[in-house]
Amino acid sequence: MILFYKISIYSYLLAIKIASLFNPKAKLWINGRKNIFDKIQSEINPQENIYWFHCASLGEYEQGKPLIEKLKAKDKSLKILVSFFSPSGYELRKNDPLIDYCYYLPIDTAKNANQLIALIQPKKAFFIKYEFWFFYLKELHNNNIPTYLISGVFRKSQPFFKWYGNTHRKMLDFFTYFFVQNEASQKLLNSLNYNNVLVSGDTRIDRVYENSLKPEKLPLIEKFKADKKIIIAGSSWQSEEKIISDYISSSDKEFKYIIAPHDVSKTHITEIEKLLGNSTNYIKYSEANEENITHHTILIIDNIGILANTYQYTDIAFIGGGFKNALHNVLEPASFGNVVLFGKKHSKFHEAEELLNINAAYEVSYTDDLIAAINHLLIEENLVSTQSVAQAYINNGVGASNKILDKIF
């Protein structure tokens, strides 16, 4: 089975190399790994007290960040090394002042794993949520380096629990401890006789909760809101944008709307403008000022970096990715008391499932679903009560980072 794993790794590498000829993100993936070991060797002092965090992308880094902050507060000598698999994580966080060293993760081979661990000599290693790399985990284990899975989520459909999952199950042997988000994950690990498990919860909740207490103010959006309620399409893809634009064109409700797409390229922003038709009732954030923004009911966010703080002004959040099994962050809007809506492909996102179960979220497949959900929320106190439930979910989930910290020290 290790042979199949190796084949899959090299097949992926070949596919990325081909894609890099015409895909900018794939090109970053390849170029970011060139001469990576020379760079690491020139920058790192392995005698330092290095803790290694590996994240797939930006979302996983935000999940690990509350723990990093607490670790650094506890031990001032710590140096934090963060590796990313994806360019969307590395390129956005490579200059984060919380990180001492930041690199792309070299492809998972026995040689690379041996070389990387020898160079950085981490005192502890943390893999966030879904990151399982056989040779890196094996090398950490062989060197007796404590290795932890943070905010893990396990499902029966994963290879660990299948007849063909020997290689994946072997990876589980290499972990010192599993910190998982829910009891279902704990039970699945217990079924394989792994009892080194703690249901610590989701560290992202710590992150979004802290941000909700002291969000950055956005004067333009505050001006845009005035005294109206706002529906936002957050991190939206084409499916959500089509539904929200259809709703806007057919609704007589006195809402304001924000569309904050996942893709903020000029090409995609133009596509959104076409969806809105010939309406002059929208304005792009890049063209807005305190005078002209008040004359519009639709705001298109055409930059990155302000979405998390935009939710403090919104009431209902239609979150992107739910039609592609790639649901974006639903905890950020919930932390500000937004009712959350998303597409039907959410089974891999347990926080979305939990929000649905407590009636703090609604599933939307068509424009009619959106109409029905909003009409329901506008009846008497439904919106206010549902918003309260969403915020209570966040408040009750705080503390995962402290539980992890207490266990590893």
From CA 253, how far away is CA 126, in angstroms rounded? 48
What are the pLDDT digits (tens) for 99-151? 999 999 999 999 999 999 999 999 999 999 989 999 999 999 999 999 999 99
Domains and CATH numbers, the chain: 32-201 (3.40.50.11720), 215-395 (3.40.50.2000)
pLDDT of residue 250: 87
For residue 409, the one-letter residue type is: F
Nearest to 243 by CA among 384, 344, 103: 344
Q: Which residues contact 393 (CB under 8 A, 6 or more apart)?
A: 334, 354, 355, 358, 360
Three-class DSSP category at 282:
strand
For residue 355, the one-letter residue type is: L
pLDDT of residue 279: 61
What is the average per-residue pLDDT within 181-200?
96
Residue 380 has pLDDT above 80, yes or no: no
How remote is the C-alpha of 401 from its chain's centroid? Answer: 17
Q: Please state, for a pLDDT cut of 70, what percent of the chain lies above it.
A: 99
From CA 33, how far away is CA 53, in angstroms rounded? 17
Three-class DSSP category at 191:
helix
What is the average per-residue pLDDT within 62-82?
95
pLDDT of residue 23: 93
From CA 50, how far away is CA 329, in angstroms rounded? 29
What is the average per-residue pLDDT within 281-287?
94
Lookup result for tokens 């519009």? 296
pLDDT of residue 333: 98
pLDDT of residue 278: 65
What are the pLDDT digits (tens) for 328-369? 999 999 999 999 999 999 988 989 999 999 999 999 999 999
